[in-house]
């Protein structure tokens, strides 16, 4: 059987050297392409994983409610567990800014991702406070004490034409 394969291979080599060469080059290019795509894909996935870890931290457990609300007693239970080093209560909602985008001439609707944090929860927040002559947290504390305050990124505020003290209605 091996002699038959070798004889057939010899005939193909002598009769169509160019065709055989194209076949070998085609297979080599195919293997190289698949290897390159897998390498790029793995690099992209690792970069995405790294960015998710940078944004969300090293959370090992998320406790999610089955409804829109989450009983505060669950947070107390989680914090009482000796295996839990820290826990932060967060609420995430999607909202639409009323009067911006949906009713204007462009017809675009402006969606925002709201992240609510219980700043008065009995937990140690991962924020270090710097002592300076002009306390930068004074303005933040003043804003937090106002009911209904909202923090926006500077880019989003500029894009929407918003300034400190402006009012937004969310739906």
Residue among 71, 75, 95, 92 nearest 84 (CA): 75
Contact in structure between 101 and 162 (CB atoms under 8 Å): no
Contact in structure between 88 and 123 (CB atoms under 8 Å): yes
Rounded-to-integer distance, Cα 6 and Cα 153, Å: 70
pTM, full prediction: 0.42
Rounded-to-integer distance, Cα 102 and Cα 108, Å: 5
What token pair was written down for 150?
Answer: 């909202």
Rounded-to-integer distance, Cα 165 and Cα 40, Å: 46
As to burial, measured by CB atoms within 10 angstroms (0-12 exposed, 13-18 middle, 19+ buried), residue 89 is middle
Given pLDDT bands bounded at 50, 70 and 90, which one contains residue 102? Answer: very low
What is the per-residue pLDDT for 125?
57
The more confidently predicted of residues 103 and 154 is: 154
Q: Is the pLDDT of residue 135 over 70?
A: no
Per-residue model confidence as pLDDT tens digits over 122-133: 666 555 555 555
What is the per-residue pLDDT for 89?
74
Taking each helix axis as running N to C, give the angle between helix 17-56 and helix 2-15, from 0 to 180 degrees, rounded to the nearest 10.
Answer: 100
What token pair was written down for 100?
Answer: 């911006």
């Amino acid at each position: 059987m091996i002699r038959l394969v070798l004889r057939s291979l010899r005939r193909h080599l002598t009769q169509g050297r160019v065709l055989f060469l194209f076949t070998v080059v085609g297979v080599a290019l195919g293997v190289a392409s698949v290897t390159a795509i897998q390498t790029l894909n793995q690099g992209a996935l690792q970069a995405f994983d790294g960015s998710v870890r940078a944004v969300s931290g090293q959370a090992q457990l998320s406790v999610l409610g089955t409804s829109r609300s989450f009983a505060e007693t669950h947070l107390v239970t989680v914090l009482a567990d000796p295996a839990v080093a820290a826990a932060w209560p967060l609420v995430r909602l999607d909202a639409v800014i009323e009067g911006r985008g949906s009713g204007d001439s462009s017809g675009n609707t402006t969606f925002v991702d709201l992240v609510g944090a219980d700043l008065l929860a009995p937990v140690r927040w991962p924020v270090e406070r710097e002592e300076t002559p002009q306390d930068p947290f004074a303005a933040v504390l003043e804003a937090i004490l106002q009911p209904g305050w909202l923090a926006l990124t500077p880019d989003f505020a500029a894009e929407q034409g918003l300034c400190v003290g402006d009012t937004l209605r969310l739906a």
